[in-house]
Amino acid sequence: MLNFYPGPSKLYPEVRTYLSDAYDEGILSTPHRGEQFVQLSRTVVGLLKRKLNIPQDYHIFFASSATECWEILIQSLTKTKSYHIYNGAFGEKWFNYAKKLRPESEGYQFDVNESMPLDQFDISDDTDLICFTQNETSNGTQVSPTTILNLHNRYRDTLIAVDATSSMAGLNLKLIKADIWFASVQKNFGLPAGLAVLVCSPRAIFRAKQLAERDHYNSLVPMYEKMLNYQTMNTPNVLNIYLLRRMLEERPFIKTIESELTDRAQDLYTFFEQFPEMKLLVENEEVRSKTVIALQASERLVDDIKKRALQYNIRLGNGYGTWARNTFRIANFPAILDEEYEELKRFFLHYYV
């Protein structure tokens, strides 16, 4: 089965070996306060920084999902409210969680074909955190590096948090341009779900200490204190942390991965322009995602494509949220091979030209 689902997505095939290695090495039953775990955790932190270009002075934490990261950040880095800029389902969900914890939180919804309209925001001084989704998996849009830079320059005094769940480990993100970044590993990392990586600037940690929120097992300050010794509050997903180590050891630097994905995204966008009954959901090239491609067609055709693809042993991503019925999505993640996209193209050429 070829799997183009944008999360959970195709695993690196090496995961099969890593799994049995983890068992054989005995790492799965060692205590998470012991030297063997600390060693693993320290190695993974070093690898993440080196391979993904994470600034040396940023802090790395392990959580269980991106959803948990949404909650951690609202709990521990906001006193009054956060401000959410979104154009799709994941950004909106984060905003909805924030409102439950901090009812004054505000949101700004923009159009899928629009760059984030930086001069439209009304962000008051008592806003603790600005939140957005770098790559909106639900509709295949992205916030460009230039826009992130401009946002950073405009709101230098406010912490900025970025959901990079479907771009981290695929794109060479400029982490220095925001304070908080996070992703779960079942997208570009090519690993099974159940682990998230949360990255915080020194300034974010400083702010967390000021707020000193300690009401939850996953409050940021206690997480920070434990992580000074490469440990976690609760028993972590050691298996996934181990898989992350093995995967990162063997992968090239993020710059290389990004360049390959960028070329492939361009190729796929060009390819999908030729079908009369389908169109790219995102018309504005500047905001098109490099890692998730969304295609729009009639509900009937979308249904037909997905069913036929399954018969052909190809799994496509369903549409999501507002676009559930009239779109389908194709992941452009590093674990998926070029040959697999060639097979996908043959399928579309055969049935839909």
Ligand X SMILES: *Cc1c(COP(=O)(O)O)cnc(C)c1O
Residue 69 C-beta: closest distance to ligand X, Å: 8
Q: Does 163 sit near ligand X (CB under 6 A)? A: yes
- Residues 20-59 as x/- pattern, contact with ligand X by CB under 6 A: ----------------------------------------
DSSP state of 189: T
Q: Does 141 sit near ligand X (CB under 6 A)? A: no
> Is the Cβ of residue 92 or residue 179 nearer to ligand X in the bound state?
92
- Residues of span 82-111 touching ligand X by CB under 6 A: 90
Residue 5 C-beta: closest distance to ligand X, Å: 11
Q: Does 165 sit near ligand X (CB under 6 A)? A: yes
Residue 76 C-beta: closest distance to ligand X, Å: 17
Residue 88 C-beta: closest distance to ligand X, Å: 8
Polymer length in residues for the chain: 353
Tokens of 178: 């925001």
Q: Which position among 87, 127, 133, 147 is part of the footprint of ligand X (CB under 6 A)?
A: 133
Q: Does 143 sit near ligand X (CB under 6 A)? A: no
DSSP state of 171: B
Q: Which position among 65, 76, 240, 291 is part of the footprint of ligand X (CB under 6 A)?
A: 65
Q: Does 67 sit near ligand X (CB under 6 A)? A: yes
CA-closest candidate to residue 191, choices 46, 335, 23: 335
> Is the Cβ of residue 66 or residue 200 nearer to ligand X in the bound state?
66
What is the C-alpha separation between 206 and 58, in angstroms, rounded? 12
Cis peptide before 8 (omega within 30 of 0): yes
Residue 137 C-beta: closest distance to ligand X, Å: 3
352, 275 Cβ separation under 8 angstroms:
yes
Residue count, binding to ligand X (CB under 6 A): 12
> Is the Cβ of residue 163 or residue 213 nearer to ligand X in the bound state?
163
> Is the Cβ of residue 244 or residue 347 nearer to ligand X in the bound state?
244
What is the C-alpha separation between 255 and 322, in angstroms, rounded? 33
Residue range at the interface with ligand X (CB under 6 A); choices 159-167, 283-291, 331-339, 345-353: 159-167
| Residue type for position 297 | A
Q: Does 66 sit near ligand X (CB under 6 A)? A: yes
Q: Which position among 41, 78, 127, 137 is part of the footprint of ligand X (CB under 6 A)?
A: 137
Q: Does 76 sit near ligand X (CB under 6 A)? A: no
Q: Does 237 sit near ligand X (CB under 6 A)? A: no
Q: Please list the residues that pair with 84 across neighbouring strands.
A: 107, 131
Residue range at the interface with ligand X (CB under 6 A); choices 163-171, 267-275, 309-317, 327-335: 163-171
> Is the Cβ of residue 165 or residue 201 nearer to ligand X in the bound state?
165
Q: Does 166 sit near ligand X (CB under 6 A)? A: yes
111, 146 Cβ separation under 8 angstroms:
no
Q: How many CB atoms lie within 10 A of CB 156?
A: 8
Contacts from 142-146 at CB under 8 Å and sequence distance 24+?
A: 142/167, 142/287, 142/288, 142/289, 142/290, 142/291, 143/115, 143/116, 143/287, 144/115, 144/286, 144/287, 145/173, 145/174, 145/177
Q: Does 147 sit near ligand X (CB under 6 A)? A: no
Q: HSE (CB half, 13 Å, CA atoms) of 92?
A: 12
Q: What is the DSSP string of 295-316?
A: EE--HHHHHHHHHHHHHTTEEP
Residue 111 C-beta: closest distance to ligand X, Å: 18
Three-state secondary-structure class, residue 351:
helix
Would you tell me which residues interact with ligand X (CB under 6 A)? Answer: 7, 65-67, 90, 133, 137, 163, 165-166, 184, 193
